């Protein structure tokens, strides 16, 4: 079993998918509304009905644009948590820096009271990320 975040955008999911690929690496796939005859609105034909990023770090993100006929609220009450070990610190800090580029660190990535490092950032697309880097002998 696997759980993957599914992010919603109004009309910039393609751009966001490219951004997340620049953060996490990996391969992407996109299906448009036109491919599935899912919208009669000519302005929505090239929008992303389903996009997916599979990163070598084991992160899978799914995303889509939201048709005008559906309600859309950016951000929301969800956060995405990614965790690694101190032996992966350089890679995790790289993710952190890229997520902060154009975003806002709401809690700096620093030593946490419970050990390791922890930080929170809201990226340029209003998605909140929690980044945790644990001691190698801890369970994450």
pLDDT tens track of the chain, all 140 residues?
A: 778 999 999 999 999 999 999 999 999 999 999 999 988 899 999 999 999 999 999 999 999 999 998 998 887 668 999 999 999 999 999 999 999 999 999 999 999 988 899 999 999 999 999 999 998 765 55
Q: Which two tokens stand for residue 75?
A: 């951000």
Does the pTM surpass 0.85? The reply is yes
Complete edge-to-edge strand list for the sheet that includes strand 60-65: 6-9, 60-65, 48-54, 27-32
pLDDT recorded at residue 139:
57
What local confidence, expressed as pLDDT, does residue 138 receive? 59
Give the single-character DSSP code of 63.
E
DSSP character at residue 56: T
Instruction: Return the pLDDT at 117.
Output: 95
Distance of CA 21 to the CA centre of its chain: 9
């Amino acid at each position: 079993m696997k759980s993957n975040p599914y992010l919603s955008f109004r009309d910039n999911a393609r751009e966001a998918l490219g951004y997340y690929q620049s953060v996490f690496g990996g391969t992407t796939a996109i299906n448009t509304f036109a491919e599935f005859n899912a919208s009669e609105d000519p302005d929505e034909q090239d929008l992303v009905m389903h996009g997916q990023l599979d990163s070598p770090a084991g992160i899978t993100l799914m995303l889509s644009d939201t048709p005008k006929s559906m309600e859309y609220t950016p951000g929301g009450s969800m956060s995405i948590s990614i965790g690694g070990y101190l032996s992966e610190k350089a890679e995790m800090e790289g993710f952190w820096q890229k997520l902060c580029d154009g975003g806002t660190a709401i809690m700096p990535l620093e030593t946490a009271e419970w050990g390791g490092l922890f930080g929170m950032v809201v990226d340029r697309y209003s998605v909140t990320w929690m980044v945790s880097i644990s001691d190698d002998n801890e369970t994450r």
